[in-house]
A and B are shown apart, each in its own frame.
Chain A
Amino acid sequence: MKVKNTDVLFRTLIISLTLLVLLFSVLPYLALIVGSLLPNSMTDRGIGVDTFIAHRWTLNNYHELYDPAYRVFFQQLLNTVAVSSVTSLMVVLLAVPGAYSLTRYRFRGRTLIRQSAIWGYLFPPIILVFPYARLLYLVGLNNTRVGLVLANVAFCFPFGLWLMVQYLHAVPRDVDKAAAADGANWAQALWHVIIPRAMPGIAAVAVFCIILSWNDVALSLVLVQDKNARTIAAGVQESILRTEQTSYGTFAAASLGIAAVAVIVFGVIQFRIDRRLREEAEQA
């Protein structure tokens, strides 16, 4: 086939734009890795060309994390793991039966609830967090991880439910009918027949909730004053970013640990979902 001149030009343009986008995407976290391996004194005003030339690589920033001063961060990391996994579990437990009813039954207000993603986005944390703080105070849950979990559930739930509805909707109705014909009641059908088929969806909802509550700053900052009960995103920003004295290198070392788990786990899940979508399209 004859290749036209304009095609070559178009390709070159696309390839260079792609490289630019990739560079834009990759540079900041590369900087984080490089910064964690350089002495604080060299990076507290940014990573310059001369920083590279001098290259006094060190693992000091990582050693420093063992310092007792950082012990509170480990507590906060544990809090974050606990809060985000409990949040995620609760949202899944609530969203699965909810989505099941929403896709299998007709009733008044169904459409309204189904569009929960949009309604949820209309009540962002920053608007509700202070009223929340007062309500939690009334029931004696202020300053606790339980209160924080409740708040996180509230803000993860609408989008989680919406996702779950999309997935359960894709499970064919014939499956339900077959289960009913075999004498299963709705709960048995849900547990034995529908949930196994909706596993990727459940994983997606769980991951979404973990990302959101893991990365949350606003809720933890306002609802929890006790340093030992805070999550790490809020804790870290308070102790490092808000003080005038900077030690970005140590911070970068700590944050790489925080981010690594998320990046790897989500990467794998993303990869698998993408592959499945492609296979399905190929069959279609």
Chain B
Amino acid sequence: MTMKNKEELSFSLNANIYSFESILGAAYSFLDRAYIFLDGDPKKNIKVVLKLKKESSGLNPESLKGEFLNELLGQSLRLKLAKDNKKIQEYIVGQALFGASPEQAQSENVNEDDELDKILERELKALEEEEKNAAKDKKDPLGVLTSWDEKGVKKSKAKKKK
């Protein structure tokens, strides 16, 4: 670690321990407190130059470096968790999107409508059959079910008998 002046220090980070993404993430979260410049090889060693901003001049560069390293660990862990849970995250998001897609909702509605139609048809058929059976079973005491022709034939036969 080198210290150019009271407000600036630089240090190197081993890229085999800290990934470039996590260094970039940590640097990004410090942009409001310090000026940060990166150099070096992202596959070997990355040099970080931290320079305190005027607004945060009350801070000690050493403590800022410590905070940066802590943030770096946090970023590394976050990245590791994201990698480990990538498949399950994709699965959950995929399921959520699939469930929320309008096509899926439409097809679900169509299925529901079809089922309702089938139930209605079944019920109507059952009612018709019930009515038919009832008509067969019941006698026709008022002669409502006999047609005018049948009634006319019966009457003429009765007159002839008389």
Partners in one complex: no
